[in-house]
Amino acid sequence: MLDYSHEDWKSRAAGLSFRGQAFIDGKFVDAASGKTFDSINPATGAVLTQVAECDEEDVNHAVAAARAAFEDGRWSRMAPGDRKAVMLKLVDLIRANLEEMALLDSLDMGKLVTDAVTVDAPGSAHFFQWYAEAIDKVYDEVAPTGPGDLALVSRVPLGVVGAVTPWNFPLDMATWKAAAALAAGNSVVLKPAEQSPLSALRLAELAAEAGIPDGVFNVVPGFGTTAGRALGLHMDVDCLAFTGSTAIGKMFMQYSGQSNLKQVWPETGGKSPNLVFADCEDLDAAADMAAFGIFFNQGEVCSANSRLYVERSIKDAFVEKMIARAQAMQPGDPLDPMSKMGAIVDEKQTQGIMRFVEDGKKTANLVAGGERVTVDGKGCFIQPTIFDDVAHDNPLARDEIFGPVLSVIPFDTEEQAVTMANDSIYGLAASVWTDNLSRACRVSDKLMAGTVSVNTMDALSAMTPFGGMKQSGFGRDLSLHSLEKYTALKTTWIKYKA
Ligand code: NAD
Ligand code: MN
């Protein structure tokens, strides 16, 4: 697939068929209301297919199926080694359908197909594999009580896990939630973002083919204010794993309080700082990664390094490097392997980003990009955009834009850099570039972020927890720690004649 030409990808996309029905209790079904909405390709404006518009009634149906499956133990009481075998079959199926999974995300939300096929789709297989392989290697505890008492401390699945996910990495966000929740023995009801539901629906179909029993993995596409809200308010959902904006994350906390006190795990927004010190030896590598950190996936990355703090003595030279990289990353057809950036997810997001850009032109120094463009006369595309000399309190430097827009802010001292970096409601990720070891340790120690990357960018792996501090949310995806979200600690105390 890595050698496919633009024509190859276009002909494969043209040959694709889409499933837009909901997946409930092991079957594709229409929404009970019969309603549908359009799934749109933002690179062309074309309607890909009609998708079931699930609402409260469908969510009730899916939760009931998930509960029934959990109660009769068809998955929850399966031996961990057997669950592992089923999940590993799903891994094989994702890998066998890699091209299709990549195309679904690329067509649905505009990301480069070359990224989808090298990052997103293989990532999904990898994360499922990682959790599958972990299931029969995680042990429980026996408390040190002494003779006469046996106190078992075990982790048990919660029951029905609701998951509500965003559109920026549709397949991977569904995977981060579902792989860990399913590995732990739960049933799952997933509501994917309305902008990009197709890969999650295909994933559910593959899961069924792999042998995940009916009712264990359900996908209910629909809108946030109907299907998402119904899942958040449901009295029989035990845990709600959310990835999306901070505003909606707060809403899920309220839904929980208004309903059954379900656990809520919000992974929310970010405005991540990238600190480049003059003692960084390889400023070209730093610039390459700074550009990747804000322009990868059109800047639609929760941990995007959207605030670039550069030591004043090298600031102008570094900005020159950034301008050159921005100019080399102009957007193009997501199906063209030569394109360096894809389309913005939809018209609304494109207009929202452009409002920041237009305001920025009046309040900061635009040095690259700044225009909405079309590709072949169509679509939602924005040039990689850089503003220099942005005031620290400018909305450009403060608000999550979620697009390819970088704000450059000079600093004079290490202390000032750290203070500005931490002066944010968010705390998802941060990066530091320096070849001074003590400075690297000192600064990363002080940065308030879930992940600090030193001399790299957006470090992320299945082995390490991912999530935020402050209003970037709490709870962690990935790593064994993610299993803590989807299990309860249970003490079983047995008295015996010693
Ligand atoms: P969003 O919050 O608008 O939507 C996320 C999900 O919530 C969607 O499925 C949506 O349908 C649903 N939703 C919307 N309104 C709702 C409501 N009133 N009730 C219930 N559900 C509702 O976010 P988005 O625009 O899809 O995604 C972008 C956001 O996601 C950014 O803020 C980004 O930082 C964040 N994000 C965070 C992470 C992370 O791990 N921290 C990862 C990716 C994206
Ligand atoms: Mn779409």
Answer whether 6-268+473-491 and 273-461 agree in fold.
no
Residue 485's pLDDT is 98
Q: Report the atom number in ligand 1 closest to the C-alpha of 248.
A: 2
In angstroms, the CA 318 to CA 310 distance is 8
Residue 381 · residue 343 · CB < 8 Å: yes
Selecting from 3.40.50.300, 3.40.309.10, 3.30.70.2190, 3.30.420.60, what CATH number does the domain 273-461 have?
3.40.309.10
HSE-up of 28 (CA within 13 Å, CB side)? 16
Residue 254 near ligand 1, beta carbon < 6 Å: no
Nearest-CA residue for atom 28 of ligand 1:
244
Residue 317: C-alpha distances to residues 204, 287, 367, 407 (Å): 50, 11, 13, 16
Cβ neighbours around 13 below 10 Å, total: 19
pLDDT value of residue 196 = 98
Check residue 64 and give its pLDDT: 99
- pLDDT of 62: 99
Nearest ligand, CA 20: 2
DSSP letter for each residue of 73-132: TTTTTS-HHHHHHHHHHHHHHHHHTHHHHHHHHHHHH---HHHIIIIIHHHHHHHHHHHH
Domain range annotation of the chain: 6-268+473-491, 273-461
For residue 131, what pLDDT is reported? 98
Q: How far is the CA of 391 from the centre of ligand 2 (A)?
A: 35
Q: Tell me the ligand closest to 45's alpha carbon.
A: 2
pLDDT at 374: 98
- The verdict on the CB of residue 194 being under 6 Å from ligand 1 is yes
Cβ neighbours of residue 317 under 8 Å, at least 6 residues apart?
Answer: 283
Nearest CA to ligand 1 atom 39: 267
Q: Which pLDDT score, from 0 to 100, does residue 27 have?
A: 98
Which residues does the chain have with pLDDT short of 70?
none
Catalytic pick from 54, 239, 280, 302?
Answer: 302
Q: Is the CB of 193 under 6 A from ligand 1?
A: yes
Task: State whether the beta carbon of 471 lies less than 6 angstroms from ligand 1.
Answer: no
Q: Rounded distance, CA 216 to CA 210, Å?
A: 12
Which pLDDT score is estimated for 2? 87
Q: How far is the CA of 167 from the centre of ligand 1 (A)?
A: 8
Q: Which atom of ligand 1 is the closest one to the Cα of 192?
A: 9
Sheet containing 263-267: order of strands: 27-29, 22-24, 217-219, 187-191, 160-164, 239-243, 263-267
Ligand closest to Cα of 43 equals 2
Nearest atom (ligand 1) to Cα of 402: 31
Q: What pLDDT is attached to residue 187?
A: 99
CB 31 within 8 A of CB 58: yes
Is any ligand 1 atom within 6 A of the Cβ of residue 54? no
Catalytic residue at 267? yes
209 flagged as catalytic: no
The one catalytic residue in 53, 194, 267, 300 is: 267
Topology classification of domain 6-268+473-491: Aldehyde Dehydrogenase; Chain A, domain 1 (3.40.605)
Q: Which atom of ligand 1 is nearest to the CA of 345?
A: 25
